[in-house]
Amino acid sequence: MLPVYFGQKKSVSERVDEMAKVLQRAEITLRSFYVFNSNLSQKEGEEHKKILFYHPNDIELNTKIKDVGLSEAIITFTGTFTSEDDCKALHTQKTTQLFYQPEPGFWLVLVVNVPKEVKLKEGVEVADYRGGEVSDRIYQAVLRQCYHMYRFHHGPLQTKLTASPGSEEAEEQRQQLAADLKKFYDRYLATLKDLAQCDIMDMLHSIQYLALDKSLFLRAHNFSMLCDTFTAVKECIMFYNDQVVCGGKLAASDLYSLHSYVLGTVSEAGSVDAFRTGAFVLEGEKPIATEVYLDLDKQIRPHCLLIYRALNVTLCLFVDAVPTQEFYEELHAYLGPQLSCLAKDIATASKLNASVSATTATNPDDGSAKYLFINEQSLKHHTNIHRNAKSIPRNVMSIIADLANPIQEISAAEELQVKTTNDYWIVKRRCNWRQYYVILSKSKATTLLDVTQEAKRIFEQELTDDVFFDK
């Protein structure tokens, strides 16, 4: 029997279900991920050509072709009613499949197995597929990031296919693109975050910014003047540990890609000690000079990325071409002393901050009020939610993801409060391109008015932060 009917209320059998013992629970997992372009296979019998990448690789080609065929059919079906590039998701009893067409003709599809619970019901093991727990919006964002990360490293897909269709050269280009995709995604998917852990921050692609006092912030900001001193430097981004200090003019999705790339690279580069006085991050013997694609001034163009590090500060410099040895030396001489000095000062300041907040902040699971603030324009966020500490139940995080406004959505100021069945309160405010959430549990506030008061207090206490009010 198919899961075709959902009563509005809990049914008798559902209540029995709840009582039924959950023997086993499988969380959401990646089932497959593929990239295809239907235009690449014109002839019958060449269906495999449209598949540019398919993960996992070790399944029959025929299955891959069938899966892609289903995706194409779903896209065509929705196209009957709306424009063809509008297709977003397919839900089946056992899977959720997300669709994304970043460039005309190129589709990325992410298929996940929905969480599954095996229950003992009247002595029989019954599988219960929990498709409702999967938030489309979160995994849609994960899928978008899959593309953006690729584009960040390799540029748009279409630029690799320039030859006229049908020619031998076109086939070579197709194979080259498939090889590129394979190389990139085999590695990327292996390091992909556990899908079960994805939440609203993944959805909004927001990054935690470092809060600094005004003078330190200005000093840090002055480094972006580097671009004036060294005209070859087009853009300059600064991180402190995993937090952003200056985000420059980078598009939010590029900054997010850069952030995850740099964090990975830097952590491989060795301990802080190696960068006591500042140095370029090396790849083998030579400084890293990776080609990356940035969406600057509405144009996606390749740039050369250099990573310079002093203590915990990481500076990302984008230049036009691989620089000469002299240029490296010149930059190092300029950056070394200043940056390591700044890094020390930031360290001192944030230690001070940490000790202040240590008195107020407590262990993550104590049921104290949690908050999350998101600046939609810069995609900065500010929170005391420890993301992996499970301090907040899954249903509450999912509700926040439901409530969160898509970034581009224009709507009036809103205020909203909800109470979950496990007695968590979520208060949301949205105004002036900012979304604020406060999560209360086990709090003394139990009525609508108390909760309003308590949330107001937290908004006022936490929103004194410069990062949220500047710019």
Partner 1 sequence: MEIEKTPPNVATSDTNSTCEYMDAEGEPETDADLSASDLYQEAVHGAEAEQQGHSIISVLRDELVPQTRNNLSPDSETAATAGQSKDLAASVESLALSTSTSAKTEDSGSTNALDDDTYDYQHDRVWRGQKKHIFILSEAGKPIYSLHGNEDKLATLFGVIQALVSFVQLGQDAITSIHAGSIKFAFMQRNSLILVAASRTNMSVQQLQLQLSDVYYQILSTLTYSHMSKIFEKRKNFDLRRLLSGSERLIFNLLANDSSHAKVTNNIFTFLTNSIRVFPLPTAVRSNIVSAIQSNCSKIKNLVFAVLIANNRLITLVRLKKYSIHPADLRIIFNLIECSESFKNSENWTPICLPKFDMNGYLHAHVSYLADDCPACLLLMSVDRDAFHTLSEAKERITEKLRRSLCLQAINDELKQPHNVKLYQQVQSVPELRHFLYKPKATAQLLCPMLKHPYKSLAEFERLEAIYCDLLHRIHNSSRPLKLIYEVKEREVVLAWVTATYELYAVFESIVDKTTVIDYVAKLIKWIEKEYDVFFIRNHPTF
Closer to partner 1 by Cβ: residue 325 or 421: 421
Give per-residue burial for 73-102: e unless 16+ CB within 10 Å, then b.
ebbeebeeeeeeeebebbeeeebbbbbbbb
- Give the x-and-dash track for 38-67 against partner 1 (CB under 8 A): ----------------------------x-
- Whether residue 289 contacts residue 305, with contact meaning beta carbons closer than 8 Å, is answered with yes
* Residue of the chain from 133, 283, 345, 465 that contacts partner 1 (CB under 8 A): 133
Q: Strand 434-440 to strand 370-375: parallel, antiparallel, or no bridges (unpaired)?
A: antiparallel
Positions 69 through 128 that interact with partner 1 (CB under 8 A): 70, 73-74, 76-78, 80-82, 86-95
Residue 389: both structure tokens together: 């500490």
Any contact of residue 170 with partner 1 (CB under 8 A)? no
Closer to partner 1 by Cβ: residue 98 or 207: 98
Question: Which among 205-213, 261-269, 342-350, 445-453 is the span making contact with partner 1, rule CB under 8 A?
Answer: 445-453
Any contact of residue 284 with partner 1 (CB under 8 A)? no
* Residue of the chain from 194, 320, 402, 466 that contacts partner 1 (CB under 8 A): 402
Positions 14 through 33 that interact with partner 1 (CB under 8 A): 14
Closer to partner 1 by Cβ: residue 286 or 419: 419
* Residue of the chain from 157, 210, 379, 399 that contacts partner 1 (CB under 8 A): 399
* CA angle, residues 216, 201, 342, in degrees to nearest 5: 15
Angstrom CA distances, 395 to 71, 168, 390, stand at 30, 53, 11
SS3 assignment, position 358: helix
Any contact of residue 136 with partner 1 (CB under 8 A)? yes
Dihedral-angle region of residue 157 (phi above 0 means left; psi in -120 to 50 means alpha; beta otherwise):
alpha
- Give the x-and-dash track for 422-441 against partner 1 (CB under 8 A): -x------------------
Total of residues contacting partner 1 (CB under 8 A)? 58
Give per-residue burial for 295-324: e unless 16+ CB within 10 Å, then b.
bbeeeeeebbbbbbbbbbbbbbbbbeeebe
Closer to partner 1 by Cβ: residue 259 or 429: 429
What's the closest the beta carbon of residue 448 comes to partner 1, in angstroms?
Answer: 6
What's the closest the beta carbon of residue 438 comes to partner 1, in angstroms?
Answer: 14
Any contact of residue 443 with partner 1 (CB under 8 A)? no
Cα separation of 276 and 312, whole Å?
Answer: 9
Closer to partner 1 by Cβ: residue 3 or 270: 3
Residue 290 burial (C-beta neighbours within 10 Å; 0-12, 13-18, 19+) = middle
What's the closest the beta carbon of residue 463 comes to partner 1, in angstroms?
Answer: 19
- Whether residue 220 contacts residue 346, with contact meaning beta carbons closer than 8 Å, is answered with yes
Question: Which among 186-194, 197-205, 264-272, 419-427 is the span making contact with partner 1, rule CB under 8 A?
Answer: 419-427
Cα separation of 265 and 255, whole Å?
Answer: 15
What's the closest the beta carbon of residue 11 comes to partner 1, in angstroms?
Answer: 4
Task: Read off the amino acid at residue 173.
Answer: Q
Any contact of residue 408 with partner 1 (CB under 8 A)? no
What's the closest the beta carbon of residue 233 comes to partner 1, in angstroms?
Answer: 40
Closest CA to 319 of 230, 253, 229, 221: 230
Phi, psi angle pair for 291, to nearest 5°: -85, 125
Chain contacts with partner 1 (rule: CB under 8 A): 1-14, 66, 70, 73-74, 76-78, 80-82, 86-95, 130-133, 136, 395, 398-399, 402, 411-421, 423, 448-449, 452
